[in-house]
Chains A and B, each alone.
Chain A
Amino acid sequence: MSEEMVTVNMTVNGENVTKTIPVRTHLVDFVRTELGFTGSHLGCEHGVCGACSVRVDGDVVRGCLMLAAQAEGSEVVTIEGISDSGEISDLQDKFVERNALQCGFCTPGMLMTAAELLAQKTEMSREDIREFMSGNYCRCTGYHAIVDAIESVNNSRLKG
């Protein structure tokens, strides 16, 4: 079978992009190799680890389980986008302060998922946080520090 190509057009981190790519290109490969946003990582490539998390039209999704062609006309935001906008600067500071990362491989996915949780602006227990973050694997930290960081940012955002 020959490689079928498709031209896609979408907004990535606020910039309009148009590219012609093989239809089977995953969204995460598209942002990494076509656009150079290498902050989204590829771990398992079958939906289990969460390292590839990106935001599409406001929702966090698995970048390895969506074709770039499916994001036609969508607004895509990667870790580079939410870092530059300052949306999660408080969370990033807390991650550093609490040592919520070691090798850092899982961190972009953790931050993308936690951003969606924090956007809910509701009181939540550590149990709620663990449940929400359950789809993101970290092989280094043991998760405790990650939950600490998210909890503490949620509390201060609710107060502030």
Chain B
Amino acid sequence: MKAPKFSYTRATSVEHALELLDTHGDGGRILAGGQSLMPTLNMRLSQPDMLIDINGLDDLKGISLDGDTVCIGALTRHVEVMNSDIVAEHLPLIAEAMPYVAHVAIRNRGTIGGSVALADPAAEMPACILALGATLVVQGSAGKREIPVEEFFHGLFETARADNELLVEIRIPSQKGDKVSVFLELARRHGDFAIAGIAAYGSVSGDTVTDMRLVYFASEDKPTIGANASAALNGKNWSDETKEAVNTALESDLEPMANLHGSAAMKMHLQKVLTGRAMDTAVVRASGAGGAA
């Protein structure tokens, strides 16, 4: 279908965008890459009064290194993150996950900030930044505030960002050289939203796993740390026995939502399969060159 009627303004600065958000309240909507917003307009699932186009705000674009932190502007497009040398070197988890985000033409427009602000439970980037312990910088007319990622995702398309705030930056600690990360997902077609997925980040020395954070997506209403599964894993050797214990613990972490892609039971099964594969891969990577990738 065609989009409903709306007004449209190109924001000329962050302050201008915030002013428009304050003026239009509930009826105002930020237009970043448009790759999630436009489909909902075309299908008439949402009907904002005013689209506030932030694509001209160059201050919100780009990837830089600030000491041990990688700073990614909210308006940085998926394709730029995917091709970034800084990301390849310092955030191999994100580099591994990005090719799974949609398809070329969508990555050419879609932005990392849009993906994080939207908080689709099946999206890759929210899960990765949760595994890596990122900080989200949001800005309102009263100023900026920083939100730890653990407190950012509240539920289905719900975050700690207030309606009149703009997500301006994502700050992600550089991955440590002695840690490993693994990203895996299952989807029907490459680039489609996942049916089940995992992002894992932690240490493996010899066969012993420590500090591993297992994050699951595409099963709960938000990306979720498998706290019990991680506890059953850390301090142990990765073995059949540990796998068994982790799988059992995972049942108390997740309560998958059934959807068109699969039943709750199937999703739980797939998350267990992915956990096993992720840890097999982590062990191999840790024993290989440097382990960072």
Contacts and interface: CB of A to CB of B under 8 A. Distances in A.
A94 B53 CA distance: 41
B55 A70 contact: yes
A23 B105 contact: no
Given A2-B5, A24-B2, A131-B99, A60 B105 contact: yes
Interface string B43-58: 1000001010101000
A107 interface: no
Interface string B11-48: 00000000000000000000100110011011100000
Contact of B3 (A24, A62, A134): A24
Contact of A135 (B3, B34, B38, B104): B104
Given A60-B104, A132-B104, A134-B103, A66 B2 contact: no
B53 A70 contact: yes
B190 A134 contact: yes
A119 to B, nearest CB: 12
A35 interface: no
Given A64-B42, A65-B38, A116-B104, A134 B8 contact: no
Nearest to B39: A46
A130 B79 CA distance: 18
A50 B105 contact: yes
B6 interface: yes
A62 B106 contact: yes
Given A130-B190, A131-B99, A53 B105 contact: yes
Contacts of B1: 45
Main secondary structure on chain A at its contact with chain B? mixed
Contacts of A3: 5
Nearest to A2: B5
Q: Interface residue tally of chain A, by bracket?
A: 35 or more
B7 A65 contact: no
Contacts of A116: 104
A103 interface: no
Interface string A115-151: 0110000000000001110111000000000000000
Contacts of A130: 190
A141 B266 CA distance: 32
A127 to B, nearest CB: 10
Contact of B8 (A4, A60, A135): A4
Interface in B98-148: 99, 102-106, 108-109
A50 B103 CA distance: 10
B104 A1 contact: no
A41 interface: no
B8 A62 contact: no
Interface string B69-111: 0000000000100000000000000000001001111101100
A22 B49 CA distance: 14
B29 to A, nearest CB: 13
Contacts of A82: none
B5 A1 contact: yes
Contact of A4 (B5, B53, B103): B5
A111 to B, nearest CB: 13
A1 B79 CA distance: 36
A130 B190 CA distance: 9
Contacts of B42: 26, 45-46, 64-65
A88 interface: no
A158 interface: no
A131 B106 contact: no
A62 B39 CA distance: 11
Contact of A113 (B3, B5, B104): B104
B26 to A, nearest CB: 15
Most chain B C-beta atoms within 10 Å of own C-beta, residue among A1, A2, A130: A1
Contacts of A53: 105
A113 B105 contact: yes
Most chain B C-beta atoms within 10 Å of own C-beta, residue among A1, A70, A130: A70
Given A24-B6, A47-B106, 8 more contacts: A4-B7, A29-B2, A46-B38, A47-B38, A60-B105, A113-B105, A131-B190, A135-B102
What 9 A-B pairs come out closest when comparing CB atoms?
A135-B103, A46-B39, A65-B38, A59-B108, A23-B8, A134-B190, A24-B3, A1-B5, A134-B191
